[in-house]
Amino acid sequence: MNALELKRLADIDYGTPARDAATLVTLEIDGKPVTVPAGTSVMRASVEAGIPIPKLCATDTLEAFGSCRVCLVEIEGRKGYPASCTTPVEAGMKVRTQTPKLADIRRGMVELYISDHPLDCLTCAANGNCELQDVAGQVGLREVRYGYEGENHLVAQKDESNPYFAYDPSKCIVCNRCVRACEETQGTFALTIDGRGFDSRVAAGQNEAFMDSECVSCGACVQACPTATLTEKTVIMMGQATRSEITTCAYCGVGCGFKAEMQGDKVVRMVPWKDGKANHGHACVKGRFAWGYATHKDRMLKPMIRNKITDPWREVSWEEAIGYAAGEFRRIQQQHGRDSIGGITSSRCTNEETYLVQKLVRAAFGNNNVDTCARVCHSPTGYGLKQTLGESAGTQTFDSVMKADVIMVIGANPAAAHPVFASQMKRRLRQGAKLIVVDPRTTEMVRGAHYEADYHLKLKPGTNVAIIDALAHVIVTEGLVDEAFVAARCDAQSFSDWKAFVSRPENSPEAMAEVTGVPAETIRGAARLYASGGNAAIYYGLGVTEHAQGSTMVMGIANLAMATGNIGREGVGVNPLRGQNNVQGSCDMGSFPHELPGYRHISDSATRKLFESSWGVTLNPEPGLRIPNMFEAALDGSFRGLYVQGEDIVQSDPNTQHVAEALSAMECIVVQDLFLNETAKYAHVFLPGSSFLEKDGTFTNAERRISRVRKVMPAKGGYSDWEVTQLLANALGYAMNYAHPSEIMDEIARLTPTFHGVSFDKIDRVGSIQWPCNEHAPEGTPIMHVDEFVRGKGRFIITKYIATDEKVTQRYPLILTTGRILSQYNVGAQTRRTENVRWHSEDRLEIHPHDADERGIRDGDWVGIESRSGQTVLRATLTENVQPGVVYTTFHFPESGANVITTDNSDWATNCPEYKVTAVQVMPVTQPSEWQKQHQRFTQEQLELARIDG
C-alpha cells in the first residue's frame, strides 16, 4: 500500500457526523454487535463496525440528507428499506446491510445515475478518486439497460469562471452535498438546487456564474462533491496526486491543517485535513487555493550583495553572501559598539526559525535588539493578558465557541481575516447563540446569512476603552457581577478598586454615549446580555490592540471576563484572534527584546543562567531595542545593521517615510525573504527565503496549538530558513550545529517550562498540541485558567479612558481606520501573486455617501487622503458600512501607501502603532500623490538594479 493509499485509509468517511451523547446504544449489524452514542446513524455505526455501506449523498462532514437511496438497509421488524444515513440507531436493532434484494435495489439506483453520466472515466479528472465510480464498482454494476440515448444532461454548459475550480454540470448527480457544504460548513448559502425533478441542477447565486455570485471560493463544495462536477483546475490540468503529506497553512492564525497532495515535488492541490483540530476539514480561499506564490517567477533564488542601495545587486554564492553579512555586522559592532545591530524575527516563519533568530541576536550579536511584527499587531495582548491573567495567550480552543451562548466580537472581522473560524462561529450563531459586535464599521459579522447581531456597538474609532468601562459600569452597578467567582478566583483588593472606579458616574453609558457615539441603551443591553446570557466568550482582533490604549483595552476585556466569571471553562474566555500564521509562536519563542522564550523577563537572573549555560554565552540583562526604537537609533546614528527574516517592515510598519529614512541611514541591512519586497529595496544583502512547503518545523496558532509544517519539496534557494540563520551564526563565530528542526524544538522544550512536553515525535503521534504541555499537562492544555489563573489570583486593573492625541480638526476632519479583506493577506506579497487578485486587485477607500457628497466624490473616483504624516491616492468606494466621519482602507498593495498616512502614535505600554485612528482629509484628485510617484520611480530603479523586468 503506498503512502497516499494509507492517508486515504486514515480518511475513512463514516457517512454522517459523530454524536457525543452520553447514552450508548448497542445494536447488531450483519450479526455483529456494535455500541455507539445515541443519535448515531445506522450508516455510521456500520462503518465503525467495519461494514461499509454504499452511499452517494452522505458524507461525515455534513448532516444526512437521504436523497440518493443507495444506502438502503433491512431492519428486522420494519417494513421496506430505510436509508441507513437518515435512520438513527436503536437499542437491540438488528440490521442487515448485504442481502440479494438490497444488492438489486442499489444496483438499480446506481444504474439510473450512470445512464445520465458521461462515460469518460478514463479521461475524467476524478478517475481513481470518484465516489460514483467506486459505488458502481461496489454494487457490481456491469451494464446500463436503459442505454444512453434518452434525455440527459451530457451537453450541459460548464462554468469555468472561478479561477481555481470548474463546474461541469454534465457530471452532477444532484446529491446536494455541495449545497449543504456551502450552508453547513462554510455558512455562505451561495448554492441552491434550481428546478425540479429531471431539470434540477446546482445553481450559484441567482443562477449566475460562480464568480458573479456571493461564493467566496472556500472550496467546501469542491471538497464535498463525490464526482468530477466540481473539481480543482490543477487536478484537471495535472491529474491525481501520487503522494501526500500533512502540513499547516502558512497564512492566518487559524492554523488550518492541510494535506498537500503532490506529484513528485509539485503540488497538485491542498486539501483541508479532516483531522486538523483547528479546521476539521474546512479551509478558505487563501490556504486552499492561493499557494501558487511558492513557485512564482518573482521568487528570488540566488543570494545577492551590494555595498550601497544605489549599486546594482550582484548574485553571489551562499558562502560569499553569508561571509559578507557576518563581516559587515562585526565591522559595525567594532566601530559603533555591540548594540549597533539587531534582528527582526518573522511571524511567517516556524517556531524553530524564530527561536534561532532571537538566539542569534542574543548569543552571537551579544545584545537583546530583537523584535517581531507582533510589535505592530498583538503586543498589547501579550502585555495585557500577562498583567491580568498571568499568561500572554488566548484562553480557549476554537471549538469552545460551540458551547458559547453569547459571542462578543470586538474590533475583529473574522469573516475576512480568520475565515474558517468565522464559519464555525456562524454555525453557532445559526444554532441560536446571541451576538454582540463592537466595531466602527458594519462588517460581515454584524449581519449575514441566517444571523444578525443582537447589538452592534458602532463606536467612533479610538473609543474602545470608553465602551469597555461603560459595559463594566452596567455590570457592576446593576448587580451582574459573578460574586462567587470573583471571591474565589480574583485578587480582592484589585477588584474592589476596579469596582469603585467603573462605578463612577463618568464611566456610565450615558456619560460615555457622546464620546463613543453609541446610545446608552445599546451599551446597557449589550452589558446585560454579556453578563447574564449564559456562557459568554469574547473574540477580539487588531481593532482592539492597534490603538494608543491597546493594552488598556486588552486589560479591560480581561476585567470584564473575570467580573462575570466567563473564564476557565468551555464556551467562555478571552480570545485574541492572532493575525499571522505564527504570530503566537514568534512571541512564545522570545522574539521581544525584554523576554526570553516562554515570556520570561531578560532581567530574571535564574532564567538567564539557564540559557547562558545552554548557549555558552553571557546574556545582557537589559532589554534591547524595540522596532520603533531601532528606527530612532538608526536616525541618530547609533544603530547601523539589521537582519530581517521574512518581514516587510517598510510596507507593514506605520509612517512609511520615517521607516524608509531610518533604513536608508543604516550600513548593512540583510533581508531574507521569498521576494524582493519593499524592505529589500533598502537592503545590502539578500538571502533567498523558503516557503512553508520547503521546510520542516512547527507553527503555533491563535489557540496555542502547535502543529507540524512538513517539507514537501526541496528548498528552491538551496536552504530552509533555519539553515540560513545557522550559517550566519557560524560565520559570526557562534557555533550552531542542528541537523534537523526537531533538535531545535528539543532545545526549546528543555529550556521552556510551558514546552517541556513538546517534541516532533509527540506532535506526529497526536496531531497537534496546545501549550502549556509539560509534566502537569502531558497532552497539552485546551482551556487555560481552569482552577486558578496562571498568575494565581486574577488581577483587575483600572482602565481609565484617555482620548487619543490624534484629534480630528478642521484640516483633518475624518478618521481613517484600516483592516483586511478575505482574498488578500497582510502586505499581499503572497496573495497578490495568485489569482486572488481577481477578487481584490487594489486597495480602495471606503467613505460614507454623506462625506463623499460634501466633497463631490463619486464611487470609483480617485481621491487624495492626507494626514499629518503624508498623502496618498486611492479610488473611492461609497458605502454606508462606514459611519459619517470615518473612512476605511486596506493595506495589501505597496503602491497604495496606506502606511504613508498612518502616524507614529502608539500604545503606551508596547509601542504597538495606532493604525486604527488617523485624522485625515479626503479630496478628489486627478493624479497620484508625490509619494506614489517617487515610490514608482524608486521601485523601477530597484528592479533594474536587480535586473528584473518591471
Contacts with ligand SF4 by CB under 6 A lie at: 172-178, 181-182, 186, 188, 190-191, 202, 204, 215-221, 224-227, 229-230, 249, 251-252, 254-256, 279, 283-284, 286-288, 418-420
CB of 248 to ligand SF4, least distance (A): 8
172 or 829: CB nearest ligand FES:
172
- Whole-number Å distance between alpha carbons of 527 and 522: 9
Which one of residues 69, 153, 243, 875 is an interface residue with ligand FES (CB under 6 A)? 69
Residues 897 and 928 sit within 8 Å (Cβ to Cβ): no
Q: Which is nearer to ligand FES, 183 or 914 (CB)?
A: 183
Could you tell me how many residues make up the chain?
950
Is there binding between residue 66 and ligand FES (CB under 6 A)?
yes
Q: Does the footprint of ligand FES cover residue 85 (CB under 6 A)?
A: yes
Comparing CB distances to ligand SF4, the nearer of 156 and 513 is: 156
Q: Give the count of residues interacting with ligand FES (CB under 6 A).
A: 12
The interface region with ligand FES, picked from 69-77, 92-100, 108-116, 414-422 by CB under 6 A, is: 69-77
Instruction: Based on the shown chain and the rule CB under 6 A, indicate whether residue 95 belongs to the binding site for ligand FES.
Output: no
Q: Which of residues 263-282 bind ligand FES (CB under 6 A)?
A: none
Per partner kind, with CB cut-offs from 5 to 8 A, the member of ligand FES, ligand SF4, none near residue 71 is: ligand FES
Q: Which residues contact residue 765 at a Cβ distance below 8 angstroms, ignoring those fewer than 6 apart?
A: none
E strands, 76-164, are 94-96
Q: Which does 218 bind (CB under 5 to 8 A by kind): ligand FES, ligand SF4, none?
A: ligand SF4
The residue within the footprint of ligand FES, chosen from 29, 36, 45, 55 (CB under 6 A), is 55
58 binds ligand FES, rule: CB under 6 A:
yes
Q: What are phi and psi for residue 435, nearest 5 degrees? A: -135, 130
| Cα(823)–Cα(291) distance, integer angstroms | 12
Nearer to ligand SF4 by Cβ, of 288 and 848: the residue is 288
Judged by beta carbon, residue 126 or residue 845, the one nearer ligand SF4 is 126
- Stretches 65-73, 545-553, 559-567, 596-604: which one binds ligand FES (CB under 6 A)? 65-73
> What's the min distance (Å) between Cβ of 840 and ligand SF4?
15
CB 121 within 8 A of CB 127: yes
Min. distance of Cβ 689 from ligand SF4 in angstroms?
19
Give 172 or 857: the residue with its C-beta nearer to ligand SF4. Answer: 172
3-state secondary structure 174-234: CCCHHHHHHHHHHCCCCEEEECCHHHCEEEECCCECHHHCCCCCCCHHHHHCCCCCEEEHH
- Complex with ligand SF4: residue 215 or 374, whichever CB lies closer: 215
Helices (H), 886-926: 898-901
DSSP single-letter state for residue 37: E
- Dihedral, CA atoms, 579, 585, 586, 587, nearest 10 degrees? 90
Nearer to ligand SF4, 55 or 626 (CB): 55
**H helix or E strand, kind and range, residue 553:** helix 550-563
Closer residue to ligand SF4, CB minimum distance, 232 or 723: 232
Which residue in the set 27, 45, 71, 349 belongs to the binding site for ligand FES (CB under 6 A)? Answer: 71
Give the bridge partners for 490, in sequence order.
794
CA 367 to centroid of chain Cα atoms: 32
Out of 25, 49, 83, 267, the only residue in the binding site for ligand FES (CB under 6 A) is: 83
* CB nearer ligand FES, residue 69 or residue 331: 69
68 binds, among ligand FES, ligand SF4, none (CB under 5 to 8 A by kind): ligand FES
Taking the C-alpha atoms of residue 900 and residue 884, their distance in angstroms, rounded to an integer, is 23
284, interface contact from ligand SF4, ligand FES, none, CB < 5-8 Å by kind: ligand SF4
| Partner touching 69 among ligand FES, ligand SF4, none, CB below 5 to 8 Å by kind | ligand FES
Q: Which of ligand SF4, ligand FES, none does residue 267 bind to, with CB < 5 to 8 Å depending on kind?
A: none
Q: Binding to ligand FES by residue 181, rule CB under 6 A?
A: no
Crossing angle of helices 100-115 and 131-138, in 10° steps, is 140
Contacts (CB under 6 A) with ligand FES, residues 628-667 = none
Binding partner at 255 among ligand FES, ligand SF4, none, C-beta below 5 to 8 Å by kind: ligand SF4
Q: Which three cell numbers stand for residue 197?
A: 425533478
Torsional class of 462: left (φ above 0), alpha (ψ -120 to 50), beta (otherwise): left
The C-alpha cell at 950 is 518591471
Residue from 62, 70, 325, 536 touching ligand FES (CB under 6 A): that is 70
User: How far is the C-alpha of 542 from the C-alpha of 545, rounded, in Å?
Assistant: 5
The interface region with ligand FES, picked from 60-68, 374-382, 687-695, 822-830 by CB under 6 A, is 60-68
Q: Which of 151, 576, 626, 584 is nearest to 381 (CA)?
A: 576
654 in Cβ contact with 917 (< 8 Å): no
Say which amino acid occupies 859.
D
Q: Does 82 bind ligand FES (CB under 6 A)?
A: no
CA distances in angstroms from 81 to 30, 93, 109, 368, 762, listed in the order given = 15, 14, 13, 72, 46
Sheet harboring 573-576: ordered strands across?
Answer: 455-457, 434-438, 406-410, 536-540, 573-576
Pick 69 or 296: Cβ nearer ligand FES: 69
| 785 binding partner (options ligand FES, ligand SF4, none; Cβ < 5 to 8 Å by kind) | none
The entry of ligand SF4, ligand FES, none that residue 674 binds, CB within 5 to 8 Å by partner kind: none
Distance, first Cα to last Cα, the chain = 49
In whole angstroms, give the CA distance from residue 55 to residue 74.
Answer: 15
27 or 85: whose CB is closer to ligand FES? 85
Closest contact distance (angstroms) between CB of 650 and ligand SF4 is 24
Check binding of 68 to ligand FES (CB under 6 A): yes
* In the complex, least distance from residue 240 CB atom to ligand FES, rounded to whole angstroms: 24
Looking at the Cβ atoms of 375 and 820, the one nearer to ligand SF4 is 820
CB-closest chain residue to ligand SF4: 287
Whole-number Å distance between alpha carbons of 831 and 32: 52
| CA–CA dist 599, 620 (Å, integer) | 16
CB contact set of 357 (below 8 Å; sequence gap of 6+): 343, 344, 345, 346, 349, 370, 591, 643, 645, 725
Comparison of 93 and 173: residue with beta carbon closer to ligand SF4: 173
Site for ligand FES contains 56 (CB under 6 A) = yes
Which sign, positive or negative, has the C-alpha torsion 208, 210, 215, 219?
positive
Q: Which is nearer to ligand SF4, 419 or 541 (CB)?
A: 419
| Residue 57 binds to ligand FES (criterion: CB under 6 A) | yes
Residues sharing a CB contact under 8 Å with residue 207, sequence separation 6 or more, in sequence order: 194
Segment near ligand FES (CB under 6 A), from 52-60, 109-117, 135-143, 911-919?
A: 52-60
Backbone torsions φ then ψ of 506, nearest 5 degrees: -65, -15
Provide the binding-site residues for ligand FES, judged by CB under 6 A.
Answer: 55-58, 66-71, 83, 85
